Amino acid sequence: MKSRNLNAPDLTKYPPRSPRVRLGGYVILPRCLDKGRAALAKKNGEYHFNCPVDQQFLTFAGINVGALTKQLAAGKSDGEILEWITAHSTTKPAAWEIESWSAHQSKRGPTNVKSREFFINTLSQIGKNREDITTWFDLLDLDDYVTFGGTA
């Protein structure tokens, strides 16, 4: 399938959207789409499509990453992708479930020793004095900011 990703974000120049940004009520989804489009255009830089955060969304929404990739390669807009997700979800979450899941994801932090070590190590490299960084979304937003020239 020929890619129509003429407007793929260049993630070597700026970060994808924050994981907090919502599409159809879903957190993570706009960021996932940015990374997927950039990966198809080979402009993803250090960002990884289908990373564990993306997989949180894909699992909850019941979407196969290969099928989503085909939709992105077809050049579909955010709205068109959301319509496709709604039609092809194997889990068919209701609006209240999406809201609850998104709220939970927004507050989620490391839950085990291995993830806590990763979190602390990453934070120590980008903002060791930032005691306000407690969730994965906090860490991702800070990492994006520092990666592109901001000071923690």
Going from N- to C-terminal start, the domains of the chain cover: 1-107, 108-152
CA 25 to chain centre: 14
Model confidence at 2: pLDDT above 70: no
Measured between alpha carbons, how far is 122 from 115 in angstroms, rounded to an integer? 10
**Calpha distance 127→120 (Å, rounded):** 10
Q: Is the pLDDT of residue 4 over 60?
A: no
Mean residue pLDDT of the chain comes to: 94
- The token pair that represents 69 in the structure block: 């990739």
pLDDT-based confidence at residue 152 (cuts at 50, 70, 90): confident
pLDDT of 139 strictly over 90? yes
Residues 6+ apart with CB under 8 A from 47: 11, 15, 16, 35, 38, 39
Please state the rounded mean pLDDT for residues 53-69: 98
pLDDT of residue 7: 78
Q: Nearest to residue 146, comparing CAs of 46, 8, 7, 48?
A: 46
pLDDT tens sequence across 78-122: 999 999 999 999 999 999 999 999 999 999 999 999 999 999 999
pLDDT band at 3 (very low <50, low <70, confident <90, very high): very low
Whether the CB-CB separation of 61 and 40 falls below 8 Å is answered with: no
Residues 93, 105: Cα–Cα separation, whole Å: 15
pTM, two decimals, is 0.92
Question: By CB neighbour count within 10 A (0-12 exposed, 13-18 middle, 19+ buried), where does 91 fall?
Answer: exposed
